[in-house]
Amino acid sequence: MGAKRCIIPLPRTKRARALLCALLAAALLLLLGVLLLGQREPALPPESAALRSAAEGLTGYDLTLRLDPEAGVLTCSQRVDFRNGTGDSLDTLTLRVYLNAFASEETSPAALEEIYDACYPGGFSPGYMELFDVTWQGEAASWRYADTAKTVLEIDVPAIAPGDGGALFLRWAAHIPACAHRTGYADGVWQLGNVVPLLSLYRDGAWRQDEYSPIGDPFVSECADFQVRLVLPDGYVPACTAFLSETAAGVWEGRALASRDFALCVSDRYETARAVAGDTLVSAYAFDKAGARRALDAAKKALETFEGLYGDYPWPAFSVCPVDFPFGGMEYPGLVMLAKGYFAADQRDSMELVLAHETAHQWFYALVGSDQVNDPWQDEALCEWAMLRYVRENYGQGSFDTLRHYRIDLPMQENIPGSLTPGSPIDYFGALADYSAVVYGRGAALLLALDEMLPGGADAFLRAYAEEFAFRFVTRAEFEAYLNGYAQMDLSPLATDYLDTIM
Ligand SMILES: [Zn+2]
């Protein structure tokens, strides 16, 4: 054995040794800093000037939410700073309490025979809302439910003139059903879509009171500003419309400007992957890291593709998370709930397609609102088209043609019973399969026709449409009027042919 050798000869003087130690310590600190910086979570980009300007003067929701998983209850102190932008004087405010539809099998959207067993594997489980305080400007306000399902909450207020406003306050406890649906608890995830009561849509002198149809997404609302504080037990993670940061142990805070809804999923099983795409922080959640990374890649790719096609995604955050439900996905502003099966490694391609459709809803639903009850084609057919366009952008014409065959041509040839057309309202449909073939598939054929007819194709039109109607709610009549102006010809007969003609 040879003698021990020191590679760096130690300095001889005390002072020089001290200097060397200091240098080594500084280098070590620098290295640690670099490592820590490298691992630091990407930060939330600032809200754009366009978003802040769109948010000005909107109704504001201030929510303090607390989830108690043991009790299965989400409680909330909810303040609504209402601005009367309706143009009419109002003596009632109408909010939608969709959760109450889950109280009985007669009204639950999850009790549709086609999906009942998937939604209620353990048998029926009721969900409902308990309301404790309702005040307007600090005074107790009288309220009632206007429908048997108790989803239409009417609150009496002293007349509010156009342009005026005030503060509505509610305190509630949402009892979450054991139900694999967009609202419910299933497989370790609190799937809390449509739980927060929102103002209904006011049009033509009345608040909308649409039934909670089990087929389609029967939700209509205006954009509003949400300020959120969410309290969760240790180990639980939220995926939601806003990006929430943990400001203290178990306290999550953030805001979503100019958003049509506020949805969230909470789980103690979620792993997270994050990256910035453009000016957006993309967060993907899954039950394992690899699944979260696959979802993150797909979400970024969809967001980037559609920003290229339809203009900027205006919010600073976008999230995708797994849920347990018998649908492919469900869109909310800034949040996509995706069926958990897609997070498996061998489902990567299917995940990409479903996520492309759901991400397109950020433009056609979240940014440009439309009547999802009476004109479901106006967001679904557009998103189906956008999904096909995603495929052409990323995988070429051959893949587009193949997918078009399955998603448009076959539905066009299918024998659908009854007098259903893509322009039908959701309550005409009795089966999910018919709804998807007619509204998505046949509806997208209109976009194919427009693509051949319009200068710059359908996408140039959709981009202009998204810019023109950003943060607004657009009727079919307004869509058609804008289309005719854009095309400089009357395309209403074409729209009637594709949307209202029985095949
Ligand atoms: Zn859709």
The domain segmentation of the chain, as residue ranges, is 58-263, 270-363, 377-499
Q: Residues lining ligand 1 (ion), CB within 5 A?
A: 380, 383
Q: What is the pTM of this model?
A: 0.92
Superfamily of domain 377-499: Neutral Protease Domain 2 (1.10.390.10)
CA of 128 to the centre of ligand 1 (A): 26
CATH number of 58-263: 2.60.40.3650
Within 13 Å, how many C-alpha atoms sit on residue 395's CB side? 16
What region does 311 belong to: left with phi over 0, alpha with psi -120 to 50, or beta?
A: left
| CA 384 to ligand 1 center in whole angstroms | 7
**Which of 290, 244, 294 has the alpha carbon at shortest distance from 265?**
244
Q: Pinpoint the alpha helices (H) of 361-442.
A: 377-395, 397-404, 410-413, 432-435
Check residue 418 and give its pLDDT. Answer: 81
In the reported structure, the alpha carbon of residue 459 is separated from the centroid of ligand 1 by a whole-number distance in angstroms of 18
CA of 61 to the centre of ligand 1 (A): 26
| Interval between CA 298 and ligand 1 midpoint (Å) | 17
Distance 441 CA to ligand 1 centre (A): 11
CA 354 to centroid of ligand 1, rounded, Å? 9
Mean pLDDT by groups of 10 residues along the chain of 503 residues: 44 64 64 56 94 97 98 98 97 98 98 97 98 97 98 98 97 98 98 98 97 96 98 98 97 98 98 97 98 98 98 98 98 98 97 98 98 98 98 98 96 88 95 94 97 95 98 98 97 96 85
State which amino acid sits at residue 65: L
Residue 324 CA to ligand 1 center (angstroms) comes to: 17
CA of 331 to the centre of ligand 1 (A): 7
How much distance in Å is there from the Cα of 369 to the middle of ligand 1? 13
Alpha-carbon distance of 54 to 58, in angstroms, equals 8
Tens of pLDDT, residues 243-277: 999 999 999 999 999 999 999 999 999 999 999 99
First and final C-alpha spacing in the chain: 92
- The packing angle between helices 492-499 and 443-453, to 10°, is 150
Residues whose CB is less than 8 angstroms from the CB of residue 375 and which lie 6 or more positions away in sequence, other chains included:
423, 425, 475, 476
Distance (Å) from CA 357 to ligand 1 centroid: 6
Q: Specify the CATH class of 270-363 in words.
A: mainly alpha
Two structure tokens written together for 348: 């990567």
Q: What is the pLDDT of residues 203-212, one digit of tens each?
A: 999 999 999 9
Cα 18 to ligand 1 centroid, rounded to whole Å? 67
Residue 189, phi then psi, degrees to nearest 5:
-125, 130
Say if 58-263 and 270-363 have the same CATH topology: no
Question: What pLDDT was estimated at residue 316?
Answer: 98
Q: Which of 474, 499, 476 is nearest to 363 (CA)?
A: 474
